[in-house]
Structure 1
Amino acid sequence: MEGHGRRFRSSQSRGRGSRCIHLRAAGRGSRDDNGPATILHTNATRIRQMQRHNFPGFAGAWYQPQRSSHKSSPGQHTKDGLSKMFPPLQRDCVADGSPALSDTETDRPMSSQLLPIRADYRLADPSLHVFSGLSVNEIRSLGNFPDYAKLSGVPLPTAARESSLDTARPRPYRPFRWPYFQTMGKLQDFDGFFCLIFSWLDKLEPDYWIELESTYRERIAQRQGLFASHGKDILHSLPGSELACKELMEMVVQFLCARYPRLFERSDMTFVNHILGTTCDLAAAADPLRVILDNVPEDFAIMLRDEETGRYCLRAGVVCSTIGWTLSEKMGLAVAEIHEAVPDYKEKLKPSVDRFFSKMPTAAPIQRASWGLEIGEPLFLPATDPSFSGRDVPNPDVRVEDVNLRVDWQTLRRLPLSGAVVFNFKALFTPVAHFKNEPYVPALLLKILNEGKPSIMRYKGVGHVENAVRPALEMYNRHQEERGMVRRGWEPQTLDEHPFYPGWTDAHPSQASS
């Protein structure tokens, strides 16, 4: 966590209408203090620059030329082309914002040797580049806590209006979809970038990257206990993830202080958590992920690009809320290998997901949710746990009062410096009995349980509670029809309010306005 020389200054330069961050870094790819400084522009200028230089292929993505210095086995990269596919450049303009770079200079980061996936940037040759297009020297020059909002193009959140964390509740996510298509979706425009996205993905709301609520203290204590008992099954990092871990921690701290200014504050490298009454010296912290574990009740998994294959692999994370797997089991695996058990993934999703990871811009984070039905509130349930067995077998003793909807609210974003792609997710539990007063939710969930694809229902593990949940949902739906809460004869389908339900803002006014 020791920072390199802090030779960073921020200014508002008028580079063709965009804000920019100046990098004063001696060495390759920059000028000394007597000349113009290299800058990183926010999204709008980056798009214009890439359009001017006519980068081939997917809009906003760039490809490594054939002259790459990497050695690979014959035929290794000819099928999917991932080894030549990169996210949008993070460094593409000179200080005055003019398109002064020649094609050769613009190609410079592409033709340079990339920092290997297992290399620690702190010890590496400063002329090496990470796959975001930045050199190690440029990254070091930023020091600690640069302005990640400008670097990424994703604004910091607005301050939450919630007066007390003790009364704060999460938004009522009901991510039920029908018909259920496990395929890649339509083209959508994210701030000028056309990205192929899943049909059930949405653009991230910057205020809700991390969402704190009344269970904060309980969950932090639970997660710390899980780490004490299970070690690397909960928190683990592999060599080469040092930059991404530091970068993620700094982005999380910046978010917390902006979103919850009465609860968190930072002065230089001192971070204060007023909820727990703790103070952390970030400069002395041995592990950035431990800082996250001790302050954020959410999970983070860091994926880094393998410079040989172009595939994204899990290299670090703090992950407590898993059902049927652990972090250590997945460590080092590529995205497709991690999702091997997901129904239809290999047949329908793998190629599109791999390309999506390769091309995802920093300015276009996304959000989605997965769901399941659980007895109680299991947070960490590895496949070796006796409670995990028998989840496909109906439990005759279960009552609907025992069953909770578990929603794993997930976000996916690219970090601007390391180029890592980060999964963030949080488990939220809601009693199924609450659905009685949520219009259209019982009928929609009942439709999915009755007619959903068997392989997907098995994967979700709903078999052990269906015998209690189905009759209850039928009763709740009749109750809503009799009271005019829903239209009689309504054919269940994905709600317009997805991932919520009609009238949720009236039932949860504080969440709607926060």
Structure 2
Amino acid sequence: MVPFAAAWLASAIILSFLGFVALSKNQKDVVYRRLGLRRQASSRPSTPSLEKQAPSKPLASVAADLVLAFPPSPRGQLSKMVGAMPAAQRAAMGDLSFDEKKFPSSLLGFDENYATADDGKYNYTGFSVRELKALGDFPDYATLSEVPMPQPYPEFDIDRALPRPYRPFRWAYHQTMSLTKFEPDWWIELESTYRTRIAQRKALYAEHGGAVLQWLPGSELACKELMEMVLQFVCARYPQYFSLSADKSVLENRILGTVTVIKAQPPLLVLLEHIPEDFGVVLRNPEDGHYYLRAGLICSALGWNVASKIGLRLDAIHQPIPDYKEKMQFSMDRYFSKMPANKPIQRGSWGLEVDQPLYMPPDDPHSAYRATQDPSLPLSRIHLRVDWQTLRRLPLSGGVVFNFKALFTPVSEFRDEPYVPALVLQVLREGKENLMKYKNTWHTQHVVMPALEAYAKEQEEKGVVERGWEVKTLDDSPWFPGWREKWHRQQGF
């Protein structure tokens, strides 16, 4: 994918800012309404579709729109929180008024750390630095984001827990985001590989450093906020294993038998030591309205790493993805500019791998498996890899977090999963050539496809699947019929 011409972009930025200065009061009101700051009762936008969409205006106008586009602001939630605050904190918060005239000219710089900035500045979600500082550590993120905290999971046993059997296969198979509704109880999903994965990820960081973990100036608030939201989640979801001290300064992890002083190390390192999940944080650049990768903790990428993507704009991050520029770039840029904090989304991507490669940066030796069809390769070595992903906006910093974890399942598990073998077989046989090439399944197909054919035929013969079934995306995708019973049975309950 070829990015927009640099000269055009520079011109568009300059014209956009000059145009903003010249806007009438009514036109500027449009900007403030996009922040959700003028009318507290205004409704939240619904999640836009990310299917193929053509710009309805010239590209220069689209770029200008991004400069003036701000996400809906959650600052209206502050009024629901101040009543429970101690008197000193309420005083530090101030009167919660919003200075419309000051806001556009007082935005924090892209590289600016809120902790050392002037109290009168604002971030792009409409919070003043004074308010951000007064909120302190571990504020009520459920209220701020309007996303409820998870329900406790008392029957959860880390030693026998299996991930839910995600099967995000689609037919007809074409390039879309394939979004599903966010499930608040399943944002961070732990399972029996927890101890192994934490050790593996810490070893990767010790060996590769900035190739797997980095944060750039200006991302301090987003990293702190992300860490606090994740720790709040796991303490609420898995209280038998995680807890915070009364003053929220110490985390106890009873799986690893550790006690962590939270402020003794940077937020992403706290996550590295306790959460087997990958996180990428993109932030809005006030100069062009585009989102850029500014922080990342990613230990399970295939063919790329944090070092190869840090600092890049959204379209450059997605450069290798087939059809992204033609079918998705415009929609993604617009979606990121408007995404509210109260509407997280989830999706799954998948591939077929030999063994279980977790971290495979460019030129990794394991990639050699993808260059040949080994005739001696047994089916037992081939795994479905699913990256179950969440995209959500952090309510305070406005950063958009993309988080995922790699889940591996032997392909042989498909045998008793209704419709799955025929569905996967159809994608491998007839999927669009450039998409399948990007998915890198060729090196396994000579082994997988005969097995899937046998499984699909067996399911028809046993009446598990009706004969002549027309292959299509399953009604409850990413789930297959009977998935919950199988999942429970495999865990022993």
Which TM-score band applies after superposition, normalised by the shorter structure? 0.7 to 0.9
Q: Write the letter of the residue equivalent to 1:107.
A: E
What is aligned with 1:361? 340
70, 74, 81: which one aligns with 1:90: 74
Q: In the TM superposition, what is the alpha-carbon distance from 1:125 to its structure 2 partner? A: 1.2
Q: In the TM superposition, what is the alpha-carbon distance from 1:234 to its structure 2 partner? A: 1.0
Q: Write the letter of the residue equivalent to 2:196.
A: E
What is aligned with 1:227? 205
The change in CA–CA distance for 1:282 and 1:479 in structure 2 (over 3 A counts) is same
Q: Write the letter of the residue equivalent to 1:158.
A: Q
Q: Write the letter of the residue equivalent to 1:86.
A: F
C-alpha distance in structure 1 between counterparts of 2:80 and 2:427, whole Å: 56
| SS of residue paired to 1:302 | strand
What is aligned with 1:130? 123
* 1:144-174, Cα deviation, whole Å (9 max, x unpaired): 1101000100011001143421011110000
Q: In the TM superposition, what is the alpha-carbon distance from 1:96 to its structure 2 partner? A: 9.1
Q: Write the letter of the residue equivalent to 1:400.
A: L
Alignment of 1:251 with 2:235, yes or no, is no
Relative contact order (alpha carbons < 8 A, sep ≥ 6): 1 or 2 greater?
A: 2
Q: Write the letter of the residue equivalent to 2:67.
A: S
What is aligned with 2:159? 166
Q: Which runs of 5+ in 2 are unaligned?
A: 1-35, 49-58, 82-96
The change in CA–CA distance for 1:265 and 1:329 in structure 2 (over 3 A counts) is same
C-alpha distance in structure 2 between counterparts of 1:130 and 1:348, whole Å: 31
What is aligned with 1:25? none
407, 410, 422: which one aligns with 2:389: 410
CA contact (8 A) 1:159 1:261 kept: yes
| SS of residue paired to 1:51 | coil
CA contact (8 A) 1:368 1:410 kept: yes
Relative to its length, the structure with more helix (as a share) is 2
CA contact (8 A) 2:244 2:252 kept: yes
Q: In the TM superposition, what is the alpha-carbon distance from 1:388 to its structure 2 partner? A: 1.2
What is aligned with 1:466? 445
Q: In the TM superposition, what is the alpha-carbon distance from 1:116 to its structure 2 partner? A: 1.1
Relative to its length, the structure with more strand (as a share) is 1
Q: In the TM superposition, what is the alpha-carbon distance from 1:90 to its structure 2 partner? A: 2.1
Q: In the TM superposition, what is the alpha-carbon distance from 1:76 to its structure 2 partner? A: 7.4
| SS of residue paired to 1:87 | coil
C-alpha distance in structure 2 between counterparts of 1:510 and 1:251, whole Å: 32
240, 244, 250: which one aligns with 2:218: 240
C-alpha distance in structure 1 between counterparts of 2:102 and 2:66, whole Å: 17
45, 49, 53: which one aligns with 2:40: 49
CA contact (8 A) 1:392 1:461 kept: no
C-alpha distance in structure 2 between counterparts of 1:161 and 1:484, whole Å: 38
Identity %: 52
Q: How many residues align?
A: 431
What is aligned with 1:400? 379
Q: Write the letter of the residue equivalent to 2:464.
A: M
Q: Write the letter of the residue equivalent to 2:251.
A: F
What is aligned with 1:214? 192
Q: In the TM superposition, what is the alpha-carbon distance from 1:396 to its structure 2 partner? A: 2.2
Structural mapping, 1:147-166, within 5 Å: 147-166=140-159
Q: In the TM superposition, what is the alpha-carbon distance from 1:406 to its structure 2 partner? A: 0.1
Q: Write the letter of the residue equivalent to 1:242.
A: E
TM superposition score normalised by structure 1:
0.80
The change in CA–CA distance for 1:390 and 1:135 in structure 2 (over 3 A counts) is same
What is aligned with 2:487? 508
* 1:58-95, Cα deviation, whole Å (9 max, x unpaired): 7799xxxxxxxxxxxxx977645211111102224895
Alignment of 1:295 with 2:306, yes or no, is no
| SS of residue paired to 1:49 | coil
* 1:104-126, Cα deviation, whole Å (9 max, x unpaired): 95734643421111111111111
What is aligned with 2:421? 442
CA contact (8 A) 1:149 1:155 kept: yes
Q: Which runs of 5+ in 1 are unaligned?
A: 1-44, 62-74, 98-103, 184-197
C-alpha distance in structure 1 between counterparts of 2:336 and 2:278, whole Å: 19
C-alpha distance in structure 2 between counterparts of 1:512 and 1:108, whole Å: 58
297, 305, 316: which one aligns with 1:318: 297
C-alpha distance in structure 2 between counterparts of 1:350 and 1:163, whole Å: 40
| SS of residue paired to 2:389 | strand
C-alpha distance in structure 2 between counterparts of 1:203 and 1:106, whole Å: 36
C-alpha distance in structure 1 between counterparts of 2:425 and 2:345, whole Å: 28
What is aligned with 2:317? 338
* 1:16-58, Cα deviation, whole Å (9 max, x unpaired): xxxxxxxxxxxxxxxxxxxxxxxxxxxxx98962639xx9xx7
CA contact (8 A) 1:298 1:426 kept: yes
| SS of residue paired to 1:164 | coil
| SS of residue paired to 1:226 | helix
Alignment of 1:485 with 2:476, yes or no, is no
C-alpha distance in structure 2 between counterparts of 1:409 and 1:94, whole Å: 32
C-alpha distance in structure 2 between counterparts of 1:401 and 1:228, whole Å: 31
What is aligned with 1:273? 253
The change in CA–CA distance for 1:501 and 1:94 in structure 2 (over 3 A counts) is closer
The change in CA–CA distance for 1:94 and 1:433 in structure 2 (over 3 A counts) is closer
CA contact (8 A) 1:50 1:60 kept: no
* 1:286-342, Cα deviation, whole Å (9 max, x unpaired): 210000000000101111111101111000111000100111110000111010100
CA RMSD of aligned residues (A): 2.5
CA contact (8 A) 2:300 2:359 kept: yes
C-alpha distance in structure 1 between counterparts of 2:160 and 2:146, whole Å: 32
Q: In the TM superposition, what is the alpha-carbon distance from 1:443 to its structure 2 partner? A: 0.1
C-alpha distance in structure 1 between counterparts of 2:62 and 2:157, whole Å: 56
C-alpha distance in structure 2 between counterparts of 1:206 and 1:239, whole Å: 30
The change in CA–CA distance for 1:461 and 1:95 in structure 2 (over 3 A counts) is closer
C-alpha distance in structure 1 between counterparts of 2:395 and 2:174, whole Å: 32
C-alpha distance in structure 2 between counterparts of 1:255 and 1:511, whole Å: 26
